[in-house]
Amino acid sequence: MYRVCFVCTGNICRSPMAESVFRAQVAAAGLGTLVEVDSAGTGGWHEGDGADPRTVAVLEAAGYEQDHRARRFRSSWFARLDLVIALDAGHLRDLRALAPTPQDAAKVRLLRSYDPAASAAETDVPDPYYGPLDGFEECLELVEAASPGLLDAVRAAVKEHTA
């Protein structure tokens, strides 16, 4: 099993959105039995909570399923994860600092690095939490734009993993 975990701040907006979108793409690609998709937050403020209602609304309007409980990312998880996807540069920094080994730190990548249309200056998926609903819609667009590139990378890694 190839394991991918999306990480944002509180695990109620961006990372559950990325998890739902990517899980749907993995399933559509026929990789559902080979790839496990999950999410977490760098902080534990929302542990046990569902996704933000605006995240749920945007996902449901776009036809994505979600069933989510927020969790805090733990450094011990690195051992069982193949890829840790950070939603912004702050998460990338925090996660790499949490990594027990340089090999674990190398598992952490920015989601938008998989979007061929994103420039080097456009690395973050902005946090929509404190803003209006359209920030959540923009978040979904950015996640969807990066997902095909991420899927290609994961598909190649799974092929390597199972070869």
Examine the residue annotation and report whether 8 is marked as an active-site residue of this protein: yes
β-pairing, 83-86 with 108-110? parallel
Q: Which helix (H) or strand (E) holds 38?
A: strand 35-41
Examine the residue annotation and report whether 14 is marked as an active-site residue of this protein: yes
User: CA-CA distance, 71 to 50, in Å (whole number)?
Assistant: 10
Spatial CB neighbours of 36, under 8 Å, sequence gap ≥ 6: 1, 2, 3, 4
Identify the active-site residue in 5, 13, 14, 115.
Answer: 14
Q: Quick check: 41 and 10 in contact, CB under 8 A?
A: yes
Identify the active-site residue in 49, 82, 94, 127.
Answer: 127
* R_g (Cα) of the chain, nearest Å: 15
Q: What residue has token string 């509180």?
A: 10
**Which sequence positions are flagged as catalytic?**
8, 14, 127
